[in-house]
Amino acid sequence: MQKVIFKDLGAVDYKETWDYQQSLLNELVALKRHNRELDEQDPTFKIQKHYLLFCEHKPVYTLGKSGSLDHLLLSEKNLNEKNIDFYKINRGGDITFHGVGQIVGYPIFDLDCFFTDVHKYVRFLEEAVIRTLAEYGLEGIRKEGFTGVWFDQKDGQPFRKICAIGVHLSRWVTMHGFAFNVNTDLKYFNYIVPCGINDADKAVTSLQAELGREVDMEAVKEKLKHHFKTLFGFVFDDLKTNK
């Protein structure tokens, strides 16, 4: 059974965390190369590592490699005035927002140790969030043609996206991940075309907005961790788990 090192990084700068993810990905790829020609009984064989990072970022927009800059509705001056960072990054998907009150999850997994199927991997990220929402009495859904986790239309409300997903893989090692709106200030989504989706019947929401109350972030994190562990079939490396 695979072991995963969990780290809650707290409130951290986006670029700093991006660089950290890349360093971990490089570490995992280097281990794969080292082990390539070795038998597991070889004394120089090294057990592969995996990481699951949770964090929050100060307000930042990130634009995926397939996204359009037209979906950022603020000028550079506006961004500076509102103290919002902006980065073009190497994940899939379009533009999204990260900020306080949002759980951003970065799995750095070697999928060779789990399964080599990108679509299944993305479905598992969605499923972890869907199962977490179910614990709050909410039914998260997948919407055909779109990634992420949504709520269905009801009582005149549009489809509502609560979790965005965008990933990058190198030699089957993952980085980037998901952004789960818990107590997120949704006004920031008014300054972009979220995920490039500009349909009248689709909007962005949060757990707080759906429940009508602020939610304990730590409780949500524990639920997410449990569902990740169950879905991927790993155990947490408790000796290296940091809060």
pLDDT values of the chain reduced to their tens digit, one per residue, 243 residues: 899 999 999 999 999 999 999 999 999 999 988 888 777 777 777 889 999 999 999 999 999 988 999 999 999 999 999 999 999 999 988 999 999 999 999 999 999 999 999 999 999 999 999 999 999 999 999 999 999 999 999 888 999 999 999 999 999 999 999 999 999 999 999 999 998 888 889 999 999 999 999 999 999 999 999 999 999 999 999 755 554
- β-strands 149-151, 102-108: how paired? unpaired
* Residue-range definition of the domain harbouring residue 141: 3-240
- Number of domains observed in the structure of the chain: 1
Q: Which two tokens stand for residue 166?
A: 């965008």
Helices marked H in the chain: 14-35, 76-82, 118-134, 207-211, 217-232
Torsion sign, CA atoms 92, 241, 44, 2: negative
Contact 93, 164 (CB under 8 A): yes
- Strand, helix or coil at 77? helix
Q: Which of 55, 113, 163, 195 is catalytic?
A: 195
**Exposure of 20 in the CB half-sphere (CA atoms within 13 A):** 15
Which positions ≥6 away from 118 have C-beta within 8 Å?
Answer: 167, 169
Q: Is 195 a catalytic residue?
A: yes
Predicted TM-score (pTM) above 0.85: yes
123: domain CATH number?
Answer: 3.30.930.10
User: Which single residue is written with the structure tokens 């994940």?
Assistant: 91
Q: Which two tokens stand for residue 115?
A: 């399964």
Q: Which two tokens stand for residue 77?
A: 């001056």
User: Which single residue is written with the structure tokens 């950290």?
Assistant: 20
> What are the backbone dihedrals phi and psi of residue 10, each rounded to the nearest 5 degrees, phi first?
70, -150
Contact 96, 71 (CB under 8 A): no
